[in-house]
Amino acid sequence: MNSEKRTRERKRLMLAMLEKKIRLHARKIYEERGKTEGQALEDWAKAESEVLKSSILAPLWNHRQELEPTEQ
């Protein structure tokens, strides 16, 4: 595996870990709200904002579309 491929793979793994952290935090927000349905997008946005605020991976998350191949 060449250096460029390894770098892309590392970035993909870091993004996956960050997404999992956001998902778990959104779940926590949902549970703290009493599991009220219909606010998943708000929970995700709040979780994403809170997690990224303290993450050195925020720039990578914000530019993840550049890393993912586009589907046509």
pLDDT tens track for 8-67:
899 899 999 999 999 999 999 999 999 999 999 999 999 999 999 988 888 888 888 666
pLDDT tens track for 18-29:
999 999 999 999
Three-state DSSP string of 55-69? CCCHHHHHCHHHHCC
What is the spatial distance between Cα 42 and Cα 58, in angstroms, rounded to a whole number?
Answer: 19
Q: What is the pTM of this model?
A: 0.79
